[in-house]
Structure 1
Amino acid sequence: MSKATLAAGCFWCTESIFLALQGVRQVQSGYIGGHTSNPDYRSVCSGQTGHAEAVQIDFDEQIISFSQLLQVFFATHDPTTLNRQGHDVGSQYRSAIFYHDAEQQRMARDYIATLEQQQIFSAPIVTTLEAASHFYPAEDYHQRYFELHGHEPYCQAVILPKQMKLRRQFAQWLKDS
C-alpha cells in the first residue's frame, strides 16, 4: 500500500473524488502542513495554524499509480488560485501536494512543469510541493461527508459538479465502471 497526501480546497470535495477511484483503499480527511499540534476544524478555519485541509490516500500502485492520482487531482480543482477554491478562502484551502518521498516530489514537479508547458490552465499553477509532515485526522463528522450528506445544498452545488467531471474524464478508473 502506498500513501499520497493532497490538498485541493475543501477536504469534503477532495475525499469524495479519490474514494471513487479503483485501487484507492482508504481516504481520510485531515490537516497537514501547519505549525501547531493537534489542530481541530475551528482552529484550522481561523487560518492561524498554517494547516491545509487535505486528504491522505492509501492506494494500491498495482491498480492506480501516483501519476494517475496527480491527473485526477489537477483535473478536479483549480490549481491556479492562491489560498482559495471557489468561495472557500484562506491558506487552509491551498492547493498542495505533500510528498512522501523524493520520487513523489519529482513526479509532482515534472507533472506541474508539463501542465505549464502545455498551457493547460489560463493562469500559472500555484500548487505548492511540501514535504509530508504529521497528518492529523479531522473530526469524525468530516469523514465520508459527501456519502453521508450528499443531499445538502453545499454538496449539490460544489461537490456534485466535481463528481460529474470525474465521471466524464476518468470513467475507466472508477470503482463503479
Structure 2
Amino acid sequence: ERVKGVTSVVSGYTGGSVANASYEQVSTGKTGHAESVRITFDPKAISFREILEIFFATHDPTTLDRQGADVGSQYRSAIFYETTEQSAEAEKMLKELEAAHTWDNPIVTEVKPLTAFYPAEKYHQRYYDQHSEQPYCQVVINPKLEKLQQKFAARLKADG
C-alpha cells in the first residue's frame, strides 16, 4: 500500500486444498496454502511487471519453503496470477533474472494460477503497522522496507 498505484493489499492464504483456510490450519503446513498477499492495483499507474520488480527486490526467491526464520511450504516464494498476461510476464521475468545470475542460487519461485484466496484474520491485516516494534518486524520486515525505500523511492506514495 506504500507504492503508487497499489489500491489495496490483503493478507491471506492461497494455493491449497482447504476451503476457508485459517492461520491455524495453514501454519501446520498441511493445507498446501501459501501465506500470501492479494494486491489490487491501477494498471494505469503501475504495471504488473513493476510489482514483480519490487517483489523480487525485497525478498529472497532462492530459499525453498522459507522466508527468514519461517520454514514450511506455507512460506514458499510464489506468484499467483489472475490472467495469462500476468503468467507470461512472471515467467519472462524469472527467465531474465536467471539469465542475469541475480542470485548465487537458483530461483525457486512458483508461478501458479490464482484459485481461491482466503483473507487472513483481522489481526494479520496491516500487521507491521500495528506491531512494528515486534522482533519479527524488526528482523524480517524492516530490511525489506529499507530495500523498498532505497530501490524504489520514486514509486512510493508521499505518506509511504
**TM-score, normalized by length of structure 1?**
0.88
Secondary structure, counterpart of 1:141 in structure 2: helix
Counterpart in 1 of 2:93?
111
Is 2:158 the partner of 1:164?
no
- What's the counterpart of residue 11 of structure 1? none
Residue 16 of structure 1 corresponds to which residue in structure 2?
Answer: none
2:157 alignment partner in structure 1: 175
Deviation at 1:144, TM superposition (A): 0.5
Candidates 16, 31, 48, aligned match of 1:49: 31
How far residue 147 of structure 1 moved from its aligned partner, in angstroms, is 0.8
2:59 to 77, 81, 85: 77
- The answer for unaligned runs of 5 or more in structure 2 is none
Question: Match of 1:100?
Answer: 82
- In the alignment, structure 1 residue 139 sits paired with structure 2 residue 126: no
Identical amino acids, percent of aligned pairs: 53
Name the SS for the 1:170 alignment partner. helix
**Secondary structure of residue in 1 paired with 2:20:** coil
**TM-score (normalised: structure 2):** 0.97
CA distance in 1, matches of 2:22, 2:146: 30
Q: Does 1:122 align with 2:139?
A: no
What CA deviation, in whole Å up to 9, does each residue of 1:124-170 have, x standing for no partner?
10000111000000000000011111122211121111111110000
The 5-angstrom pairing of residues 14-53 of structure 1 reads 19-53=1-35
Letter in 1 for 2:114: A
Aligned to 1:88: 70
Cα distance in 2 for partners of 1:151, 1:20 equals 19
Once the two structures are TM-superposed, the CA of residue 98 in structure 1 deviates from its matched residue by 0.5
Q: Distance in 1 between matches of 2:69 and 2:138?
A: 15
Task: Tell me, in whole angstroms, the C-alpha distance in 1 between the residues paired with 2:140 and 2:74.
Answer: 17
What is the Cα deviation at residue 77 of structure 1? 0.6
Q: Following the alignment from structure 1 to structure 2, what is the Cα–Cα distance between the partners of residues 126 and 152? A: 29
Structure 1 segments (4+ residues) deviating >3 Å: none
2:136 aligned counterpart, secondary structure: helix
* Backbone CA RMSD of aligned residues: 0.9
SS for the counterpart of 2:40 is strand
Q: Please, which runs of 5 or more residues in structure 1 have no aligned partner?
A: 1-18
